[in-house]
Structure 1
Amino acid sequence: MTARKLRIWYLVHKWTSLVSTVFLLLLCLTGLPLIFHEEIEHYFEPHPELRALTADSPQIDYDKVVAGVLATWPDEVVRFVGFDPDSPLGVVFTATSLTPPPIEGHSQPFDTRTGELFPPAQPDDGFMNLMLRLHTDLFMGLPGYLFLGFMGLLLVASLVSGVVVYTPFMRKLDFATVRTGRSARLKWLDLHNVLGMVTLTWVLVVGVTGVINTLALPIFGLWQSDQLADMTAPYKDAPPLERLGSLHKALEAARQAAPDMEPSFVAFPGTQFSSQNHYAVFMRGTTPLTARLLKPALVDAVTGELTDIREMPLYVKTLLISQPLHFGDYGGLPLKIIWTLLDVISIVVLGSGLYLWIRRRNRPMPKHLVELNANRSSVEGRA
């Protein structure tokens, strides 16, 4: 590699890192509590206590559940019904409008075995919601998603260019060498390089999956205009619904169509994940991997008959798999601990990179980036 090309790679690494560092530090810091969001939410907002089943326990009727929720909130409409994959607990989500974003609404938990209703959940406006919004869109909606996605692309460019710049430098030192006997700046340079190489694969995976996650809104928008539109095409000229049919019957139809799967959530007619004439029952698998993948089953909201069920397209499956991989929440507590340690190391890498730039901003480019041996591409580092 010529000195000119190496200089270009150095400048790419320098400026992609500098532009994105502050936002990447924000993402790492807000990501720490999000790794343990389930444990934190369960501690501060414990799930309702489910009663043990007896011979006299009633069987659930989802229509009665919905009717009970609407009786409590008569000025609202049901948008979604969700199911907890780890417990027999469901949630009915209501709002003042079917179309997003809802101005007001409630989350009503219920027992999926008996239909017992529990007190409504508190509005999600606390610490964890603050961390989530900062981590995902900076409270800016789609522009915030896309901006952070661009920061993720800069991170990937920084990682690739960092490997190119650091590889020749490694020829002068044994791997993982940290020269502690000289200047503090040199020690941090070695530490920055070593920790960066150790966490390279993890940061690359988290960065790429993070970029994919920022495209969630466009991806689901594409699915709605593509597959969902095709699935609901026969109902294009159907008259508006005057009343909703049985949700219980719709769930039974979806379960019969996918007997090896369980419902993940139901989108009511008129919401963004359904049509004006269907219950959209999103089924999930029962293994750790397939539990993240969804299969939409459309059920006629009047007759309760299944009209279509299809696999999600590849671009949606990619998104669904990348979401748990990004936060490490598919392998239990041990994987979350590993994710946390790697996150902390990444914070050290980012912080040390910022420190090195501040200390070196008025110095010329390192000699090892411009001196090349005439016989082979090698560089010599200097203190």
Structure 2
Amino acid sequence: MLSSRAIRVWSWFHKWTSLVCTLFMLLLCLTGLPLIFHHEIGHLLGDEIEAPVLPAAMDAQRVSLDVMAKAANAVHPTRVIQYAGENEDDPRLWWFTLAPTPAPTEDFKSVAVDARTGLVVREYRVGEGFMDLMLRLHVDMFAGLPGKLFLGFMGLLLLIALVSGVVLYAPFMRKLDFGAVRKDRSTRVKWLDLHNLVGIVTLVWCFVVGATGMINTWADLLVKYWQYTEVSTLLAPYQGQPLLQARDRGPLQASLDTAMHHGQQRKVSFIAFPGTAFSSPHHNTIFLKGTTPLTSRLLQPLLV
């Protein structure tokens, strides 16, 4: 049983953490809703890229990854390919991200290539359109890493508000049935009962969304930690070696075949090219994923 002093302390935490994070949680809800239906909205707006219709006999054929990369690079010959990957919804398409340098940048282009013919289908609309606006507002509010960390802090306040709300729920509702809304009382009491009902019913969902969203804001920091701990250890034998020029690298398809051989029972998620944030200056890093609902979300990086 909480004392009156403890109830006041928990009430203070619940009130102020809720008030501070409410506006930003509303922003995330409003921007996150259209992102859930991004495929449907993309089709409606004509932004979705679909593979061309070819004879059924050609659907199973695949050209070399080097052919696809060359076709993508020909669209923007002054840029370098940073990343490439199979389209999650249509394996007949591969996407290639091109930027001025391998270093992380917001200046990038994305090209879709038909894996059956090696021909460019279309460029993705990068940095424009309604869905990109929603995505940027949802991820970092156009503020980069500081914006992500700020939203992560708002997520932490949401978790504190949820925990404090649970602590206060029993003292406030101990004389009422679960879900009771006292309609015969004042407007303030009715709103309080509705607040308690909605809060306790959506508790688990809100906690999962808040916790995972907060962790997602740490992505850039976790990548840097991975580079500092795991990748730096693997690159110790390469210290002092000159960097290979793009023309001196081995075939990209051979790198993928090697990775697929070592990562049996897995599919390719994406490829990070040398010098990018998810690779090293000396390797193609192939990220593989499993084939089950759980393992498809767990990536295994292989440096080749």
- TM-score normalised per structure 2: 0.92
Q: 1:344 maps to what in 2?
A: none
Taking the TM superposition and a 5 Å limit, the aligned residue runs for 1:148-163 are 148-163=151-166
Q: Letter of the aligned partner of 1:37 in structure 2? A: H
Q: 1:128 maps to what in 2?
A: 131
Q: 1:234 maps to what in 2?
A: 237
Larger Rg: 1
Structure 1 position 249 matched with structure 2 position 251: no
> Is the 1:96–1:102 contact (alpha carbons within 8 Å) kept by the matching residues of 2?
no
Residues in 2 aligned to 1:24 and 1:123: alpha-carbon distance in whole angstroms: 26
Residues in 1 aligned to 2:73 and 2:264: alpha-carbon distance in whole angstroms: 30
Q: Letter of the aligned partner of 1:111 in structure 2? A: D
Q: Using a 3 Å threshold, how does the CA distance of structure 1 residues 158 and 102 change in structure 2: closer, same or farther?
A: closer
Structure 1 position 5 matched with structure 2 position 6: yes
Q: Using a 3 Å threshold, how does the CA distance of structure 1 residues 2 and 122 change in structure 2: closer, same or farther?
A: closer
Q: Letter of the aligned partner of 2:115 in structure 1? A: T
Residues in 2 aligned to 1:117 and 1:138: alpha-carbon distance in whole angstroms: 32
Q: 1:99 maps to what in 2?
A: 103
> Is the 2:287–2:302 contact (alpha carbons within 8 Å) kept by the matching residues of 1?
yes
Q: What is the SS of the residue equivalent to 2:122?
A: coil
Q: Letter of the aligned partner of 2:281 in structure 1? A: Q
Q: 1:193 maps to what in 2?
A: 196
Q: What is the SS of the residue equivalent to 1:82?
A: strand
Q: Letter of the aligned partner of 1:181 in structure 2? A: D
Taking the TM superposition and a 5 Å limit, the aligned residue runs for 1:21-100 are 21-44=22-45, 45-50=47-52, 51-54=54-57, 59-88=62-91, 89-100=93-104
Structure 1 position 272 matched with structure 2 position 273: no
Alpha-carbon shift at residue 59 of structure 1 (Å): 4.0
Q: 1:287 maps to what in 2?
A: 292
> Is the 2:84–2:272 contact (alpha carbons within 8 Å) kept by the matching residues of 1?
yes
Residues in 2 aligned to 1:3 and 1:129: alpha-carbon distance in whole angstroms: 49
Residues in 1 aligned to 2:300 and 2:83: alpha-carbon distance in whole angstroms: 16
Residues in 2 aligned to 1:41 and 1:151: alpha-carbon distance in whole angstroms: 29
**Larger mean Cα displacement after TM superposition, 84-93 or 149-158:** 84-93
> Is the 1:263–1:283 contact (alpha carbons within 8 Å) kept by the matching residues of 2?
yes
Q: Using a 3 Å threshold, how does the CA distance of structure 1 residues 179 and 29 change in structure 2: closer, same or farther?
A: same
Q: Letter of the aligned partner of 2:198 in structure 1? A: L
Q: Using a 3 Å threshold, how does the CA distance of structure 1 residues 56 and 120 change in structure 2: closer, same or farther?
A: closer
Residues in 2 aligned to 1:263 and 1:57: alpha-carbon distance in whole angstroms: 17
Q: Using a 3 Å threshold, how does the CA distance of structure 1 residues 56 and 40 change in structure 2: closer, same or farther?
A: closer
Q: What is the SS of the residue equivalent to 2:225?
A: helix
Residues in 2 aligned to 1:127 and 1:86: alpha-carbon distance in whole angstroms: 21
CA deviation string 1:158-197 (max 9, x = no partner)? 1111122221121121111111123222211110111111
Identity %: 49
Q: 1:137 maps to what in 2?
A: 140
How many residues align? The count is 298
Alpha-carbon shift at residue 228 of structure 1 (Å): 1.4
Q: What is the SS of the residue equivalent to 1:195?
A: helix
CA-atom RMSD in angstroms: 1.8
> Is the 1:266–1:280 contact (alpha carbons within 8 Å) kept by the matching residues of 2?
yes
Alpha-carbon shift at residue 53 of structure 1 (Å): 4.0
